[in-house]
Chain A
Amino acid sequence: MDGLKLLVVGRHGEPGDTETSELTKILADCDCQPVVSSHPEILAGLHDGLEPDLLLLHAELTTREVAVLRERWQHLRTPPGVLIYCGSDHLLLDPHLEQGLDFLLPPFTSALVRTRLALGNQSRCLVRTVDELDPSMSLLLHDRDLKIGRQIQQGFLPAELPCPQGWEVAAGFEPAREVSGDFYDGFTMAGGRRSAFLVADVCDKGIGAALFMALMRTLLRYSAQNLWSGALAPFLMPTDQVFLGSPGIGAVPLLASVRGANQYLTANHLQQAYFVTLFFCVVDPASGRIIYINAGHNPPVLLRAAGGHRLLRPTGPAVGLWSDAVFTIASVTLAPADALFVYTDGVTEARNPAKELYGLPRLVKLLTSMPGAPANLLVSGVLEDVQAQRGRAAQSDDITMLALRRCW
């Protein structure tokens, strides 16, 4: 007990009340040096210079008075612990026990008092330790959330992409520290006659966006792969939808899956206000024809091997905004050695330390300087250029890229 600084506050108006006298006598026997005071003296600031380890307060003080006394030393790095003591009337303890305070009961024997003081001091130190741990616990939880979100996201990226004969397909995914809702996907449909590719971006960041990403990926892939047979087509195709050119194979599942996902999100998740921008295309490997829906997504760049480019701008709003949204299917044909570069805003909105955006013009300039380049070089070239522009600035968003190139 050596060295414990104790402040004892007795009953109102009775500085020498029996319990307090008995207690201070024993405290002296325990080699403690108690300072005995009263409620008014403390409020007058008489002991402000004292940094007590424990406050021993008579149970006759009200809970409000106890709170005011404790508040006086809350600024200390380790505020004092509190023990409430009483005489024979144990009922006085009840309101203090309800406040979660510790107690000291007579008879005040040396062994009992020593033990109670030691425990009181330990609890006080533990409270400090927990308080100090709290911020690091929050950080740990944040890190855990990041990890979970990232696992959800990466678990839904395809292990491999289909690569139709005569085509090259390459994808790049560079995660930012904070998880977002980017994803890409690729699968065959229409009995293997078509390959579908998809790049999407769920707005916002965090686990919510990652969960929406998982939901969207599942909805789109399932509908695209299972609703192509045509039996359901008449029911899935709305009368007010528009095709640019003849739709061809794959148009029904393409449209049905985007519309289905939109209907699902607007019917079930409108309140969360999440939306998804996506570029979803179906490739006819033999003819080079690609049909697509661009739902509010950054325009992919079509690179002509002969020189020149074209931006495939949105053909409908982002998915999840309106139940009556109209998505239009557009089409484009890739000649041999032409390529299509699809990306998310992590590319064009990457920023350098001066906060300047990478931007679409720089992306287009870079891509058009590589006419006829293989798909994997388009992906790695853009990633390198974005990283070079970013310099030492942190990567704030996921970078997702997909390149398709028709070889012959």
Chain B
Amino acid sequence: MFQADLTITGDIITIQMSGELDASSAPNFHKILQQAATRSPKQLILAMSNLVYIASAGVRGLVFARQKMGDDVEVVVEGANESVADTIRMTGMEHAITIRETFSA
């Protein structure tokens, strides 16, 4: 069961993600990203510490995120587990987004 919750702190939008992001849950993720994009943040943090699994359809969501946010917005993947981070890295997405191992706070 995938869940994504959006919080806004100043210019930073954080999306807390949990569960499994696959083809069936990707449309929900896309909707949340649309909401985030309308707020024109300076940074988008995708908090993935509770995300168990990401399929290629989920990585497609990251591509969407990168496109919707515009070039000046930093997109950060934070706290992803090893297999999620590997899946993201394998596609080459790490060139366009920042992958942080742990929370910055």
Binding site for B on A (CB under 8 A): 178, 180, 201, 203-206, 270-271, 273-275, 277, 295-298, 314, 316-318, 321-322, 325, 345, 349, 357, 396-397
Contact = CB atoms under 8 A, between A and B. Distances in A.
A275 B90 contact: no
B23 A204 contact: yes
The 5 A-B residue pairs whose C-beta atoms are closest, nearest first, are: A317-B92, A203-B56, A296-B91, A204-B57, A205-B23
Given A314-B90, A314-B92, A345-B55, 6 more contacts: A204-B60, A298-B90, A316-B92, A317-B91, A321-B92, A345-B56
Contacts of B34: none
Please report whether the interface of chain A is mostly helix, strand, loop or mixed according to DSSP: loop
A316 B26 CA distance: 25
A154 to B, nearest CB: 19
A317 B83 contact: no
Interface in B51-105: 53, 55-57, 59-60, 63-64, 67, 83, 90-93, 95-96
Contacts, number: 60
Contacts of A297: 90
Contacts of A274: 60
A327 to B, nearest CB: 10
A204 B90 contact: no
Given A204-B23, A273-B67, A317 B60 contact: no
A240 to B, nearest CB: 15
A325 B57 CA distance: 21
Contacts of B67: 270-271, 273
Contacts of B93: 317-318, 321
